[in-house]
């Protein structure tokens, strides 16, 4: 099952004053790249509000390869994360698989591999984990981070002509963000390179002024790899730093 940063989940406040869907889509196409990014950041309640959020905790269920796994994801500023996937097979004790990024290195703990000893991930996976652990995501303050964001031609996602942001950076493969032209939430995030994949996001709900997707589908090469259902989302809940260190 492909691991995917759920810490990059985002959202938005609806623009109720827009006169019609067609007019809203037309207006969106006239925006500059920075205007699109700014509208998108409103999905996090605005850039300044988002910067006041220090932690995020999510629980949910992941369905992959015929298995159902309980899922808990922790994230904390500036760039640490932990994902726990627990699988319970009939007649066997539950097993928890842990993937974490401690701010410098990525680790996996997988008892199903025959060992509960933390294993350091290869360099490429560590780079991906580091990028995913960025609490703010790639679009907030992208220029200060040295990233390039380009507004491309619209792309059809489902039945929507989505706004298309191409994000180029030195540390990980190019990413593509496809945004709803009315609400500016992420409809899809696609990553190039080895292990290229697509993440589709649905069922946005407001949590403390932040619009959060509660249904996620991850595909690779056109094949569905996993479906995630988010059950709870908490911001600024206390999380011990020890949770992000290998023991």
**Range 21-244 classified under CATH 3.40.50.720:** no
Q: Is the pLDDT of residue 11 over 60?
A: no
Rg of the chain in Å (alpha carbons): 18
Give domain limits for the chain: 21-244
Q: What is the rounded CA–CA span in Å between residue 33 and residue 150?
A: 6
The confidence score (pLDDT) of residue 56 equals 98
Among 5, 20, 11, 33, which residue's Cα sits nearest to residue 147? 33
pLDDT tens-place string over residues 130-171:
999 999 999 999 999 999 999 999 999 999 999 999 999 998
Among 94, 98, 70, 95, which residue's Cα sits nearest to residue 84? 98
The confidence score (pLDDT) of residue 215 equals 98
pLDDT band (50, 70, 90) for residue 229: very high
**Average pLDDT of 191-199?**
90
241-to-4, 7, 34, 76, 233 alpha-carbon distances in Å:
21, 16, 34, 9, 19
Q: Which residues pair with 160 in a beta bridge?
A: 157
pLDDT tens-place string over residues 12-39:
222 323 334 444 454 566 899 999 999 9
Q: Quick check: 139 and 40 in contact, CB under 8 A?
A: yes
Q: Quick check: 157 and 187 in contact, CB under 8 A?
A: yes
Q: What is the maximum alpha-carbon separation in the chain?
A: 59
The confidence score (pLDDT) of residue 28 equals 61
Torsion angles phi and psi, residue 94, rounded to 5: -65, 145
pLDDT tens-place string over residues 39-81:
999 999 999 999 999 999 999 999 988 889 999 999 999 999 9
The confidence score (pLDDT) of residue 27 equals 52
Cα dihedral: 227, 232, 236, 237 (round 10): -120
**Average pLDDT of 179-202?**
94
**Average pLDDT of 161-189?**
96
Q: What is the rounded CA–CA span in Å between residue 100 and residue 67?
A: 22
Cα dihedral: 56, 60, 64, 66 (round 10): 170
Torsion angles phi and psi, residue 32, rounded to 5: -80, 170
Q: What are the tokens at 65?
A: 């390869």
Q: Could you check whether the bond before residue 176 is cis, i.e. omega within 30 degrees of 0?
A: no
Q: What is the pTM for the complete model shown?
A: 0.85
pLDDT tens-place string over residues 96-131:
999 999 999 999 999 888 888 999 999 988 998 999
DSSP 221: T
Q: Is the pLDDT of residue 180 over 80?
A: yes
């Amino acid at each position: 099952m492909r691991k995917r940063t759920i810490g990059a989940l985002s959202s938005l406040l609806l623009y109720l004053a827009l006169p019609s869907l067609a007019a809203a889509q037309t207006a969106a196409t006239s925006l500059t790249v920075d205007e699109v990014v700014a509208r998108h950041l409103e999905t996090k309640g605005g850039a300044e509000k988002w910067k006041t959020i220090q932690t995020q905790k999510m629980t949910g269920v992941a369905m992959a390869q015929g298995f159902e796994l309980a899922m808990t994801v922790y994230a904390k500023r500036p760039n640490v994360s932990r994902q726990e996937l627990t699988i319970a097979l009939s007649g066997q004790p539950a097993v928890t698989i842990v993937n974490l990024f401690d701010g410098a290195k990525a680790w996996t703990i997988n008892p199903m591999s025959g060992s509960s000893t933390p294993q350091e991930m290869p360099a490429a996976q560590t780079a991906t984990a580091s990028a995913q652990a960025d609490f703010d995501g790639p679009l907030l303050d992208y220029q200060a981070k040295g990233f390039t964001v380009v507004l491309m031609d619209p792309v059809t996602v489902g039945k929507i002509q989505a706004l298309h942001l191409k994000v180029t950076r030195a540390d990980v493969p190019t990413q593509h963000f496809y945004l709803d032209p009315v609400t500016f939430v992420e409809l899809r995030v696609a990553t190039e390179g080895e292990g290229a994949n697509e993440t589709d996001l649905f069922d946005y709900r407001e949590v403390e002024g932040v619009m959060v997707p509660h249904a996620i589908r991850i595909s690779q090469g056109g094949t569905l790899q996993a479906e995630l259902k988010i059950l709870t989302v908490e911001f600024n809940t206390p999380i011990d730093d020890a949770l992000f260190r290998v023991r």
